[in-house]
Amino acid sequence: MSRLDSFLRRMCAQRVLLEEAAALVRGIDGPVVDLGIGNGRTLDHLQALLPDRRVFAFDNFLHSAIGVLPPAEQIVMGDIRDTLPFALPRLGERAALVHNDLGSADEIGNAATAAWLAPAIEAVARPDAIVVTSFLLPFRNYIALPLPPSVKPGRYHILKLGAV
Q: Which pLDDT value is given to residue 65?
A: 66
Q: Which pLDDT value is given to residue 164?
A: 55
User: What range does the domain containing 52 cover?
Assistant: 3-161
Return the axis-axis angle of helices 41-49 and 3-24, rounded to nearest 10°.
Answer: 30
Cα pseudo-dihedral 67, 69, 72, 75, rounded to 10:
-160
The 10s digit of each residue's pLDDT in 29-50 is 999 999 988 778 888 899 999 9
Q: How many domains does the chain have?
A: 1
Using an 8 Å Cβ cutoff, are 154 and 135 in contact? no
Give yes or no for residue 1 having a pLDDT over 80: no
Q: Which pLDDT value is given to residue 72?
A: 80
- pTM passes above 0.85: yes
CATH number at residue 131: 3.40.50.150
The 10s digit of each residue's pLDDT in 51-73 is 999 999 998 877 776 677 777 88
CB 2: neighbour CB atoms within 10 A?
7
Rounded to an integer, the average pLDDT of 72-98 is 93
Helix (H) or strand (E) holding 161: strand 157-161
